[in-house]
Structure 1
Amino acid sequence: MVRNEHEMIIKLKSDLLDIIDIENGFFVSDDLLKNMLNAIKSLINAEEATLFSLNNCKNQLLIEASTSEKLEQTNCPQISIDALEVEAIQSNSLLFKLPGFEAYDLTMILMNNDSLLGILAIKGREEEADPFSHSILEAICQQIAKFLNNIRILAKTDSEEKRYKQLFRVTEKFHSSMNMDDVLGEIIHTLQEVYPTFTYYLLLSHDNNRLEDLPIKDLEYDSENIAALQAYVTGTVQLEDSVQKKRSVLYAPLKGKQGVYGVLQVIAPNTLVFPNNEVEFITLLANTAGSALENAQLYQQSKRLITDLKLINETSHRLNSNLRLAETMAYMTEQISHSFEAEEVGFILYVKDNQQIDVLKGSTEFFHKNAAEAYIQFTKEKIEKEQESLFIGDFQLIADTNVKQYKSIMAIPMTQSGVLKGFVLVMSEAPYHFSFETFKLLQSLIHHSTLAITNSMLREELEKMVVTDHLTKLYSRNYLDEKIHLSMNEDHEGTFILVDIDNFKSINDTFGHQVGDDVIIQVAGLINDNIRGTDIGARWGGEELAIYLPGVSLMAGVNIAERLLEKVREYSNPRVTISCGVSHWNRGKKDTYAALFKRADKALYVAKQTGKNKVIVQESDIVIDKT
């Protein structure tokens, strides 16, 4: 009998050894346990063998494996774990009538160094009918406990090896990517593979609303996230256990060399204490992810800085290429609208000792409307008072509700040599549309551009001074001559008007030359007010002025002359009148600039000789009185 029992132990050891395939690697833990139970069932000729293991959170036994397919967790015996350990230590590991296990014929309490591994329950083995001695059953129990302890150690080793291989793979992936989105996605993917039963969140300190498919939350500063905030502030792992919720939560900081970029929250269900081996692995994963996030963020920051520098460099280069002021403003508006995704861009210039403002051409259309006045006035007052740039994320305009509301506002003063020249106003309807980095970039861009803008304005002012009459601010005769020659080569027609102030000598004699000059200035102002931007008003000489209307028909030109006649008669002070001589050319007839002027001069002479205060048209040799 002893020989048979000895052979049974040897056979059991052999069967258990065969379960583990060293060459092909370890089997899945569940398969190992089922194979072990089947070996025991066959060895002792039992009907059923079931292994119960300890659940730490619930402090009760749960079915870990069984040779029966019909068993459910609801069939687990309700028994004190402490009582089981005391029973196994003080009495015997082999019990035929264990309380709570009345449905089983034999129970083996499996221990390892006074630590409970589980309970092996056997059906179909009555003590009286059992041909095996207690000693052989005790030996079987010891072998099963040793085997169970070994496979759990092997399973733990195998699990850790797989996890660290996963960590190595993740580390390689992290360092091969400079995209923050990819790094965050890889963190979640790894957690899903390693901890499929855990719940996890990434609590990030930066805005990551784009990653809607990942469990990401903002790291909020409130009393409900004390542990998370401690992990973020201190850079150390924090644990939070909840007996009531029967779970343990770990907060691992995503830490780089320069700072902490967020917190990894891992929730372990059905446990009161977070497993130590999991803490070590998750901490390593979080540290690796933190370094990768830092590298990705620094890379993206460097790319953004390079892009910003290119924008400033290209803009400065373009602005210093002698563009006209309107072209300069249009280019700046396009650059800002595109780079900052701005809806409205306005360049506001101070004129007349900062008492008035002028919206420069090239600003978006909104700033040329009355609706923009409230925004411009608010910004002007704010900048003058605080002498600083404005950065507002949720602006509330106290004005007519019909005015379009812009929530995001950036305003940068244009200062040259310590003098405030104006400001740039950039707006968007969406609140908090512009980032602080965008604001700083706009400041730098305007700072580098102000000199070029100022130079462009001064250059055009100088050019205008060269071709402008000092007294009347109308163009000079030389400039008029050039433009008429150019028009006669490029346009299809044009109208020329010579204007003379009637009885001007008597004005000088009666009121003095200063009043006479003022009368000339008044008439020049009325000319500028009644012609287009493409038309040319010039001082011909003395009290004679001239107007050239490129592309304008004779009839339209006469109408303009007659309107000017009425305006001078009505608004001049002292009251004066003018006489006008009108001539016209078109491409259908051979004509010259000298002939055009000669006809207008002749018509003006007729007007002066026939009563003054009238418009005379000279076409070829025909004189037409239009009054």
Structure 2
Amino acid sequence: MKKHTVDQNCGEIESSYFYRERLAHIFRDSFQFIFSPFFLADRGWVFVADRHGYVVACEKAGQPEFDVKPFYPLHPEKMYIQNNVEEDSRTVCVPVLQDVWFPGYIGVVLPACIEERCAFSFLQGMTAVFRLIQEQYISKTISSCIKAVSQNMGLNSAMQTIVRRFAESLYQVECIAVVFDEEQDGMVPHWSSSEQNWLCRETMKMRNLRKIYEQIVSQFSVERNVLRREDIDIQGLLELEELSEADWLISPFDYNDKIIGFLVVLRDKNFPFTDEEQKFIFRFTKALGPSVHNSALYMRVQRDEQKRSMMFEITKKLHSSINVNDVLHAVIENTKKLYPEMQVDLWLSHDSFSTKLPVKPFSFSTGESKSNVSARAFMEARTIIVKSWGKRSVTLAAPLRGKQGVYGVLELYSDKPISLPAREIEYITMLADTAGNAFENAQLYQQSCHLIKELLLIDEMTRQLNKNIKLNDLLTFITRKLTETFRTEHCCIFSWSEEEKAYVACASTGQENVPLVLRIPEAGKLHDLFVKKESILIADTKEIDSLLPSFSCRSLMAVPLMGKGQVEGAIFLIDSQPNRYTFDDFKRLEMLARHVKVAVTNASLHAEVERMVITDNLTGLYNRKYLYDCIRHSQQRDICGSLILIDVDYFKNINDTYGHQIGDEILIQVAEVLVASIRTSDVAARWGGEEMAVYLPAVQEDIAHQVAERLRMNTMSSTRPAVTISCGVATWLKENGIPSVERLFQQADEALYRAKHSGRNQVCLAGKV
């Protein structure tokens, strides 16, 4: 037995080669069940023709002397019988057109001796088998698709398999699948069997997808399970001009009598869909409905699992960090990963902390806070979601809640229609709560670190005072430590100056060479600080005049230093970044200011006691001990030095003539002349009674003689009543050997003795008569 296939060019007819090939395949599968040894004769033909009568396949038995014609004029409602007397053959053909996927005709060509009724009975049996094989073919096509979908439950893979398998089952069609995600309240992006995708995803995203879905669903009924061109204006609904050039069908994917998506099938309008194709499309989508539902459910499970995994990772990351900036950075970045289709903003109260992250401050002005979703979420400590049709389609604000309060708000928004179901809102709320707890823990850790730094700073100030530190060194130390403690750029300490009648910077970082003077204004922040004794905290000075022109100032804290009920000074912390200081920083600085004031006062008292120990109470000059110490230090450092010993001439007569009070005033005047007539590196001291001394480090004898003459002349011209002085000068040279301090004073005293006994009001040098 051998096969023979008849292929013929059918032109533009509906029975294309695509369907004829499948009809031939069904025929061959059917033929193996009913042919030899059950054939009617020992020779003959069995053939199958399409609905137009063109033979697409045939099989022969034995060696027939007659052949199968390529075409028979068949009738769709009648059995075809043709007797060929010349070939002694008879052709019998019956239609198989109803309820089959590939309609056509089954026929036989037999010897003329075979009766028509026998041939008809044979063909009826073969028709039943032909129908069963077609049903088997359809079931196999659908079941193989279901099996392929079941092997990979991912929605993308499943839907791509469906559209590809379906497109292979029909002639020249494009298949597009759309699934409605009820949880997301929108259509999942479509899948297409064609690379030339006419359905624009961006267009679909811009539309109100729920409205489109509901309008399409409303067109289906018990009588209408597939939508055709004449059933709905899908072109106007989707606003796509491409649909005008195609014939299309829409068949639903349903599960439990609920439509969960659509299969859109398109073909050139010159090849309209047949009723059999329409039935197959509906059967295909109905059978695949549960699979689509399972894939969509699996997608949601995967999405939930992904979110749970990311939530777990986010939670680990948040709780593993003790840095506030790291925590908030993790919140922003991971929220963007979870919801890439939405914009993310972080709102923080100014009291929470300082950061360089892009955060937004709250506005609690009347009216604005009512319309601001994030401000409401912050004040009400609950998640709020608002939908609108303006610039934002949806806005969700979730508060960052901790055990001690609300620290900020995580805001998500989109200008596209996005649905946030209850589970998504729960996810975001959990994320915000996790972030709030982690932020609170990090902030508590930072607060404990700040407290430790404060205690260390106070302890360090105490230890520095115990080291007899100078006031200027203490102030420099305090400004440096405050800068480190508050992580700020600049720190300035101002004190009241009676001479300037203003507050002058006695210590400053970054502006050491620039004199800083703050006058008391009649109004404003500085007036509140220095007059009303109110501390200042400014988050951003951009909107007001700069209080300190010498600095790039955006954030500012200032605390007064009080003494005896008056503002004796102030501490300023300055930074070029806005929102640099928190309210906790502000309260911390106020507390530290009290310790700074105590430290400065103690250092000032210590300096005053030291000054009193080394100075003469009447003249304000250094005392003899200090002078001795300075000379010894100079002898260790310098190569030479000179000592001028001074005595006021006839001082006893002044006391007797004018009284001791005038005598004291004369001593004070002479002391002032000495200080004004020497260098700052020189040391003027009261030796005792009316005797004074001046030590000139690194000065040789000739220069010392000139200085002594200058002192003598200035004293005579500057005192009232006018007095004169006698001077004795002694000089030491390292190359001649360093004398003791006592020996140096003895030499100067001898020179002074000669000056007094030589007529007074003159200068004598030691060793010269």
The answer as to whether partners of 2:641 and 2:698 remain within 8 angstroms in 1 is yes
Alpha-carbon distance in 1 for matches of 2:579, 2:626: 48
Q: Which residue of 2 aligns with 1:178?
A: 322
The answer as to whether partners of 2:502 and 2:518 remain within 8 angstroms in 1 is no
Which of residues 421, 428, 431 is equivalent to 1:285? 431
Q: Which residue of 1 aligns with 2:31?
A: none
Q: How does 1:311-322 map to 2 (within 5 A)?
A: 311-322=457-468
Q: How does 1:492-531 map to 2 (within 5 A)?
A: 492-531=639-678
Q: Which residue of 2 aligns with 1:35?
A: 161
The answer as to whether partners of 2:374 and 2:397 remain within 8 angstroms in 1 is yes
Deviation per CA, 1:476-498, whole angstroms, max 9, x where unpaired?
A: 33443454345445432111112
Residue 53 and residue 327 in structure 1: after superposition, are their counterparts in 2 closer, same or farther (change >3 A)?
closer
Deviation per CA, 1:434-458, whole angstroms, max 9, x where unpaired?
A: 7354554444334334444444443
The answer as to whether partners of 1:111 and 1:145 remain within 8 angstroms in 2 is yes
Deviation at 1:577, TM superposition (A): 1.7
Q: Which residue of 2 aligns with 1:148?
A: 292
Residue 82 and residue 511 in structure 1: after superposition, are their counterparts in 2 closer, same or farther (change >3 A)?
closer
Q: How does 1:360-375 map to 2 (within 5 A)?
A: 371-375=515-519
Deviation per CA, 1:208-267, whole angstroms, max 9, x where unpaired?
A: 66236xxx4444446386212111211222222223558222222222222222222222
Alpha-carbon distance in 2 for matches of 1:303, 1:473: 48
Aligned to 1:287, the other structure's residue is in SS state helix
Alpha-carbon distance in 1 for matches of 2:470, 2:691: 31
After superposing the two structures, state which structure 1 stretch, 571-580 or 527-536, moved more. 527-536
- Identity among equivalent pairs (%): 30
The answer as to whether partners of 2:504 and 2:518 remain within 8 angstroms in 1 is no
The answer as to whether partners of 1:106 and 1:122 remain within 8 angstroms in 2 is yes
The answer as to whether partners of 1:255 and 1:291 remain within 8 angstroms in 2 is yes
Deviation at 1:159, TM superposition (A): 1.8
Deviation at 1:93, TM superposition (A): 0.5
Deviation at 1:465, TM superposition (A): 3.5
Q: Which residue of 1 aligns with 2:752?
A: 604
User: Number of residue pairs matched?
Assistant: 604
Alpha-carbon distance in 1 for matches of 2:288, 2:764: 127
Residue 97 and residue 383 in structure 1: after superposition, are their counterparts in 2 closer, same or farther (change >3 A)?
closer
Alpha-carbon distance in 1 for matches of 2:614, 2:274: 128
Residue 509 and residue 432 in structure 1: after superposition, are their counterparts in 2 closer, same or farther (change >3 A)?
farther
Q: Which residue of 1 aligns with 2:149?
A: 20
Alpha-carbon distance in 2 for matches of 1:389, 1:296: 28
The two structures, once aligned, show a CA RMSD in angstroms of: 4.3
Alpha-carbon distance in 1 for matches of 2:228, 2:295: 26
Q: Which residue of 1 aligns with 2:339?
A: 195
Deviation at 1:35, TM superposition (A): 0.9
After superposing the two structures, state which structure 1 stretch, 568-577 or 202-211, moved more. 202-211
Aligned to 1:104, the other structure's residue is in SS state strand
After superposing the two structures, state which structure 1 stretch, 99-108 or 535-544, moved more. 99-108
Amino acid at match of 1:510: T
Amino acid at match of 1:547: V
Alpha-carbon distance in 2 for matches of 1:598, 1:185: 78
Residue 66 and residue 355 in structure 1: after superposition, are their counterparts in 2 closer, same or farther (change >3 A)?
closer
Alpha-carbon distance in 1 for matches of 2:576, 2:187: 58
Q: Which residue of 2 aligns with 1:120?
A: 263
User: Is residue 461 of structure 1 aligned with residue 583 of structure 2?
Assistant: no
The answer as to whether partners of 1:38 and 1:67 remain within 8 angstroms in 2 is yes
Aligned to 1:87, the other structure's residue is in SS state coil
Deviation at 1:524, TM superposition (A): 2.0
User: Is residue 109 of structure 1 aligned with residue 272 of structure 2?
Assistant: no
Amino acid at match of 1:164: R
After superposing the two structures, state which structure 1 stretch, 196-205 or 329-338, moved more. 329-338
User: Is residue 242 of structure 1 aligned with residue 388 of structure 2?
Assistant: yes
Deviation per CA, 1:545-579, whole angstroms, max 9, x where unpaired?
A: 22222322223322322222232222212222222
Which of residues 613, 624, 638 is equivalent to 1:491? 638
Amino acid at match of 1:26: M
Aligned to 1:188, the other structure's residue is in SS state helix
Alpha-carbon distance in 2 for matches of 1:306, 1:490: 44
Residue 263 and residue 503 in structure 1: after superposition, are their counterparts in 2 closer, same or farther (change >3 A)?
same
Deviation at 1:72, TM superposition (A): 0.9
Residue 359 and residue 513 in structure 1: after superposition, are their counterparts in 2 closer, same or farther (change >3 A)?
farther
Alpha-carbon distance in 1 for matches of 2:263, 2:275: 17
Which of residues 569, 581, 598 is equivalent to 1:423? 569
Alpha-carbon distance in 1 for matches of 2:404, 2:357: 24
Alpha-carbon distance in 2 for matches of 1:576, 1:247: 96
Alpha-carbon distance in 2 for matches of 1:460, 1:537: 19
Q: How does 1:276-425 map to 2 (within 5 A)?
A: 276-336=422-482, 338-339=484-485, 341=488, 343=490, 345-346=492-493, 348=495, 371-375=515-519, 385-387=531-533, 389=535, 394=541, 404=550, 408=556, 410-413=558-561, 415=563, 422-425=568-571
Q: Which residue of 1 aligns with 2:13?
A: none
The answer as to whether partners of 2:559 and 2:593 remain within 8 angstroms in 1 is no
Aligned to 2:699, the other structure's residue is in SS state coil
Alpha-carbon distance in 2 for matches of 1:422, 1:364: 20
Alpha-carbon distance in 2 for matches of 1:380, 1:155: 63
Unaligned runs of 5+ in 1: none
Residue 219 and residue 3 in structure 1: after superposition, are their counterparts in 2 closer, same or farther (change >3 A)?
farther
Q: Which residue of 1 aligns with 2:74?
A: none
Aligned to 1:297, the other structure's residue is in SS state helix
Residue 507 and residue 363 in structure 1: after superposition, are their counterparts in 2 closer, same or farther (change >3 A)?
farther
Aligned to 2:620, the other structure's residue is in SS state coil
After superposing the two structures, state which structure 1 stretch, 583-592 or 79-88, moved more. 79-88
The structure number with the bigger radius of gyration is: 2
Deviation per CA, 1:396-434, whole angstroms, max 9, x where unpaired?
A: 5899xxx8468546353154xx57694354465848697
Residue 362 and residue 548 in structure 1: after superposition, are their counterparts in 2 closer, same or farther (change >3 A)?
farther
